[in-house]
Structure 1
Amino acid sequence: MAKFSEYVFGIARAVIGLLFACHGAQKLFGVLGGQRMVGNPLMLAAGILEFFGGSLIALGLFTRPVAFLLSGEMAVGYFRAHAPHGFFPIVNHGELAVLYCFIYLYIATRGAGPLSLDVAVRGKGG
């Protein structure tokens, strides 16, 4: 199984990025069962970060800085929107924000992996 770990990571990174981009598309375009939220400046900023940042993560382009930025976005989102409603994420419905925060922090420290535009453009490491 270990010989496939780099490829599994690349696929997981792409899926995570695509799912995150879908959250952004909900906010920006009101698609995928979401509500368009461009009238709220914070939600507009979140939508832009999620849509374009998620797309870049999916492609594996500028992965480390984008993942770090998105990790911070999710931390801010958690503490602004969820933490006031209780300490535990399972109670305040912030599990997804916490998961994305730590997944993106991991990706920021690990890099894009071999299945990425970072490696194609810059070479080893991503």
Structure 2
Amino acid sequence: MWIVTKGLDRRLSRHAPAVLSVFRIVYGLLFAAYGSRSLINWPVRSPVVVEFGSWPGWYAGLIEILAGLLVAAGLFTRTAAFIASGEMAVAYFWIHQPMALWPVADPPGGNGGALSILFCFAFFLLVFLGGGAYSIGALRGRLPLTRR
């Protein structure tokens, strides 16, 4: 079994940078889509109307759009992911967890917080992994600095 997993590890590990980028882009765009749904009813209409400047909904939507786009682009990934992860932790413990113990079902049986947990830990992972090789941040690091 060890020989099989060693060979599999060797074959798959060369694709890790590309897979990390796909992971980062998908999670970033999904997060931005949730934020834009809350603030501008796009790509689909939000079930809840969020008034301009209202706390915490409007600010959460703004964080979701900005952090999601930054993460998707791979620009300031660690900082944006840290903020996004924190927002999702706050959302879970302020909104979902007080409703019920289990996050895997919607109320009344559960608290409906599974998506908040998934976003929280996906972004927490990106805090440590960074944007990866295929990101604007990596591209910025490879470009020579211009002299003034």
Tell me the TM-score normalized by structure 2. Answer: 0.79
Q: How many residue pairs were aligned?
A: 123
Question: 1:119 is matched by which residue type in structure 2?
Answer: A
| Alignment partner, residue 45 of structure 2 | 33
Residue 83 of structure 1: how far off its partner (Å) = 0.4
Give identity over the alignment, percent.
Answer: 35
RMSD value, Cα:
1.1
Q: For residues 24 and 127 of structure 2, what CA distance do their matches in structure 1 show?
A: 11
* CA deviation profile, 1:75-102 (whole Å, cap 9, x unmatched): 0000111001112211211000001001
Which stretch shows the higher mean deviation, 19-28 or 33-42?
33-42
2:59 and 2:87 mapped to 1: Cα distance? 10
Q: Could you tell me which runs of 5 or more consecutive residues in structure 1 were left unpaired when the two chains were aligned.
A: none
Give the structure with the larger helix fraction: 1
Aligned to 1:2: 13
Tell me, in whole angstroms, the C-alpha distance in 1 between the residues paired with 2:126 and 2:18.
14
Please state how far the C-alpha of 1:36 moved relative to its aligned partner. 4.1
Distance of 2:83 and 2:20 partners within structure 1: 20
Alignment of 1:1-80 (within 5 A): 1-31=12-42, 32-34=44-46, 35-39=48-52, 40-80=54-94
Secondary structure of the residue aligned to 1:33 is coil
